[in-house]
Chain A
Amino acid sequence: MARSSNSTQTLSPGNIVSASLRLYGANWRNYLSVALTAILWGALPFISLLVIIALTAATPFAGILFLPWIALLFYCIAQAGMQSAVISRLAYGEFIEKPESVATARQAVKPKLWKFLSMALLLFLIYIGINILTTLLQLIPIVGLFASIAASLWFQARLFMPEVFLGVEETTDALTAIKRTWQLSKDSVLPIILTILVATLVSIPFFLVAFVPMIVGAIPLVGQSFANLSPDEATAVIQPFLIALAISMLLFFVVSIFTVPFWQIIKSLVYVDLRSRREGLGLELSDRNPNA
């Protein structure tokens, strides 16, 4: 059976977001487990740094641990990038109807672990440049702020999905991945910005849910006067709010975990869409013997 359906893979920004949510809904267990791995790798440097700081406070000799910590940091950056790319690869496979298991996808991306580090470092340097540029733009009176926002959005669209190239394409290295993202997005800046905007709008409700405890906790404080309260009484009044705030923060973190796969899926669908438009991805004739 020829993949005629693949000949029309170009998608609008709205359809990219809807399709991403549908894919997410259908395979959320896989995506979430990989996302959790990615986030744990991302959090490990911070946790270990806190431990090292605490140790150094107790015994100054522990300061030597900062050196291996830098190595750990680099390894974690590579791992977090790689795991995120695995989600994109899984979504890509689902979309082109060649689904992979998590293990197969990991196996395929694993050899490129260090390329994810090089890509992160390259992007880090690029973004330093972009930040300098946008800061300079802000110095222009009146139009400066708008120009700098526009420039940031434009760069974000041009550098939207390099990790998908590394995750999906066999022979791509870090620099090529960034170049390819740049090239493919050349004529599609507005659709990509619209996709980012729509995806943000769609995820707003979930983030708002995280604020509910904080708002509920703040209600008793409305109209509360602190002027006549002793410090102890003031603490008693404000404590429930602080607990609610902490719950909100925790929820916010949990919601963030859920949005990681969403964005990775969106990136891989933008990738499919741009490659279909610009390179005719999926335009294949059925493989058959004409005389059969």
Chain B
Amino acid sequence: MTRRIFRQVSLSTPESVELEFVLAGIGNRALALFVDYTLLWIGQGLFWVIIATFFSGLVSTLENAGLNFAGLETWLIAISLLLSFALFSGYFAIFETLWQGQTPGKRYAKIRVIRDDGRPIGVTQATLRALLRPIDDLFFIVGSLSILINSKEKRLGDMVAGTIVVQEEKGDRREKLIIAPASEELAAKLPEMTNIANLSPDDFAVISSYLKQRPQMEAKARTDLSLKLARQLRTIVGLETIPPGTTSDHFLEAVYLAYQQQVGDVSDSFS
């Protein structure tokens, strides 16, 4: 599914290691941009308030001292504009350098900038991307069209800096499942009572997904699905008599544990 719907790239690192990445996609990049720009506009607002307060204080101090400061205002405005641009570009350049290719928006959207060869980006790449950003982000046109057309979803800044934007690996792989003690007891007995090896890795992935997703599921849908999976599973592993007091969820948990213990921790390769 993922393979077909999202663009993938495989990169070979300088050490000739093949790495597979899922490209960030225009949706995640737009989301990240929205978050970053919201933060930036708040930041710019604060910046101009502070600058205005500071400069008006400066001007009134100079006036009180009776000094001649003709032309100062032009300088002050020029300096402020420069600082404002530095804040704009600096935000992206500094975050992407310090957070290894991420900004607050990218972190929220779970995406990351990396170099074309898979290495983390450095200050050079982050700066080049930030400097070309005003052109890319102008009305969203240049950057987004470029992302849509380019096979590696590169905007101008990515082309110049030699970078790509990829999705972060899923962080919930090591998520601990809550498993009832009764299921653990049952799991210990299952290898003798059933033929766990009949279970395919795909079936295991389905059970694992169910156990992970069930806390968010609607009560009725959850009960129905749990019963349906347990019934099918009972046939697959050939369990003849269900131990008394076993619920369908207990059985699914027990099969999950028993399979894991038999095959080793394989959940990572299927999630």
Contact = CB atoms under 8 A, between A and B. Distances in A.
B30 A14 contact: yes
Given A21-B26, A205-B145, A290 B235 contact: yes
Given A14-B25, A198-B30, A290-B236, A7 B144 contact: no
A194 B238 CA distance: 46
Given A14-B30, A198-B31, A290 B217 contact: no
B64 interface: no
Interface stretch (B54-62, B80-88, B194-202, B243-251): B194-202
Name the prevailing secondary structure of the A interface residues.
helix
Interface stretch (A55-63, A151-159, A216-224, A273-281): A273-281
Given A14-B30, A14-B31, A22-B5, A7 B236 contact: no
Nearest to A277: B216
A17 B202 contact: no
- Range for the number of chain A residues in contact with chain B: 35 or more
B209 A202 contact: no
Contact of A19 (B6, B233, B271): B6
A2 B34 contact: no
Give chain B's interface secondary structure class: helix
Interface stretch (B69-77, B89-97, B185-193, B218-226): B218-226
Interface in A22-49: 22-23
A9 B209 CA distance: 10
A205 B138 CA distance: 10
Interface string A249-289: 00000000000000000000000000011111001111010
18 contacts: A2-B202, A5-B2, A15-B25, A15-B28, A15-B167, A18-B6, A19-B27, A187-B216, A202-B140, A202-B144, A279-B221, A279-B225, A280-B213, A280-B225, A283-B225, A283-B229, A285-B233, A288-B236
For the complex of A and B, the 3 pairs showing the least CB-CB separation, nearest first, are A18-B25, A17-B27, A14-B28
